[in-house]
């Protein structure tokens, strides 16, 4: 997927429309995790050093197509000012004559942050006229919002038809290169680890991965639908009963392809995530009827680690249990340790999985940590991402 990248452009004296993903978690006006801001800094600094001015654009939250002060990008602009040690004024809107005047007045090395794109319903509708208005603010388009690249929105897809050249930012380029190492000619054996709550969110991904990987490890809540499909009594564990037949079919496909699909052999059970009554580790054949599986057990961690010890490439999305609750964290943290020690090129994606890697203290030993969630999964499924397809080829 050879796309034009920002480092191949002559930016001197040009005004760049930089679509970033500043959709950061907030408590009031306090940013609780600025990873998505930090990750775009290299592209911002590259553009400024090359003599460009920048119009920064992003969404934040779900304001439902109208202005809402609690979703203002004001905290992001303030954090960027601190990080860059230069002024980052926030426009009152993202389109309109006042914004056009502010953008036109920018000098080399100056920045302007547009207000939340989703304050206009036209953004998520991929409205052509709205995209034309955004395109009028600059003369180069750069998309560094891989985490939003699976959305066909006006600032991601339609704008690239009206603002050329349309290039990938440095973060976007790194994401595509890292994920490309998994999907195109990966060093084998390739193992995938999937977790999270619902199997329905990952069935398409499992199907896609069976054609690409040499082995698959499944934990988290989604594992119980697979276990139920094999006839195990899983107590009060999370099961999507309408997906049991599909889970059974996936297991059969894995067998027919000769791809090992490993499920937990033991689990940590309790009454609920907030009620540790009955807390203990049991075999998956002995889950009490009145308890729920909330983490994988130590035998499973050991077996998963043994499988990964032979891997050359590993991709991981989704925790192995309710890891944010201390009694149910050991499984996810154990897998994080195994991934970090296996010697393979590893790619980790999804907010919960990244949090687990950080909690385990192994961030520096992971090959690549993706900023994306949905886009990460859709890329691995082999689906075309509108925000990537819209960029110029080289």
Task: Supply 145's token pair.
Answer: 């919002």
CB contact set of 64 (below 8 Å; sequence gap of 6+) = 118, 121
Catalytic-residue membership of 215 = no
Of the listed 15, 36, 174, 202, which one is catalytic? 36
On the CB side of 246, CA atoms within 13 Å amount to 17
Which of 77, 294, 311 shows the shortest CA–CA distance to 217? 311
Before 165, cis peptide (omega within 30)?
A: yes
262 catalytic? Reply is: no
Q: Is 293 a catalytic residue?
A: no
Six token digits for residue 142: 């750069």
The residue annotated as part of the active site, out of 74, 100, 161, 198, is 198
List helix spans (H) across 309-350.
330-341
Alpha carbons 311 and 50: distance in angstroms, whole number: 41
Residue position matching structure tokens 């107590």: 235
* Contact indicator for 243, 201 with CB cutoff of 8 Å: no
Nearest to 299 by CA among 262, 353, 324: 262
User: 294, 225, 291, 233: which is closest to 263 by C-alpha?
Assistant: 225
- Residue identified by tokens 């990244």 is 354
Q: Is 312 a catalytic residue?
A: no
Exactly one of 61, 367, 374, 382 is catalytic; name it: 374
The answer to whether the CB of 41 falls within 8 A of the CB of 165 is no
Among 351, 367, 373, 382, the active-site one is 351
Which two structure tokens, joined as six digits, stand for 285?
């054949």
Beta carbons within 10 angstroms of residue 53's beta carbon: 22
135, 159 Cβ separation under 8 angstroms: yes
Using DSSP, state whether 224 is helix, strand or coil. Answer: helix
Instruction: Indicate which residues carry an active-site annotation.
Output: 36, 198, 351, 374
């Amino acid at each position: 997927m050879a796309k034009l990248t920002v480092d191949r452009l002559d930016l001197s004296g040009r005004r760049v429309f930089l679509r970033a993903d500043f959709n950061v978690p907030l408590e009031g006006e306090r940013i609780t995790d600025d990873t998505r801001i930090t990750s775009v800094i290299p592209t911002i600094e590259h553009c400024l050093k090359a003599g460009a001015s920048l119009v920064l654009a992003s969404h934040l939250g779900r304001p439902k197509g109208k202005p809402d002060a609690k979703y203002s990008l004001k905290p992001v602009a303030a954090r960027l000012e601190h990080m860059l040690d230069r002024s980052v004024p926030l426009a009152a809107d993202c389109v309109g004559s006042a914004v056009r005047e502010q953008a036109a007045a920018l000098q080399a090395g100056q920045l302007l942050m547009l207000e939340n794109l989703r304050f206009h319903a036209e953004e998520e509708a991929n409205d052509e006229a709205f995209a034309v208005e955004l395109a009028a603010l600059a003369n180069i388009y750069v998309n560094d919002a891989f985490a939003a690249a699976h959305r066909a929105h006006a600032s991601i897809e339609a704008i690239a038809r009206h603002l050329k050249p349309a290039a990938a930012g440095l973060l976007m380029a790194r994401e595509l290169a890292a994920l490309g190492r998994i999907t195109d000619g990966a060093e084998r054996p390739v193992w995938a680890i999937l977790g999270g709550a619902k199997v329905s969110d990952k069935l398409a991904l499992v199907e896609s991965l069976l054609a690409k990987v040499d082995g698959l490890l499944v934990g988290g809540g989604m594992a119980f639908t697979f276990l139920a499909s094999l006839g195990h009594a899983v107590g009060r564990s999370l099961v999507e009963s309408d997906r049991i037949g599909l889970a059974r079919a996936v297991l059969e496909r894995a067998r027919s392809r000769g791809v090992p699909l490993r499920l937990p052999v033991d689990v940590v059970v309790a009454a609920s995530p907030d009620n540790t009554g009955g807390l203990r580790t049991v075999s998956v054949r002995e889950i009490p009827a009145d308890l729920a599986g909330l983490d994988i057990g130590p035998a499973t961690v050991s077996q998963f680690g043994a499988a990964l010890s032979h891997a050359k490439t590993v991709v991981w999305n989704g925790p192995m249990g309710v890891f944010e609750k201390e009694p149910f964290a050991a499984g996810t943290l154990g897998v994080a340790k195994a991934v970090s020690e296996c010697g393979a090129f590893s790619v980790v994606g999804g907010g919960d999985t990244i949090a687990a890697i950080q909690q385990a203290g192994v961030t520096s030993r992971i090959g690549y940590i993706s900023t994306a969630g949905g886009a990460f999964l859709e890329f691995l499924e082999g689906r075309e991402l509108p925000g990537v397809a819209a960029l110029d080829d080289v």
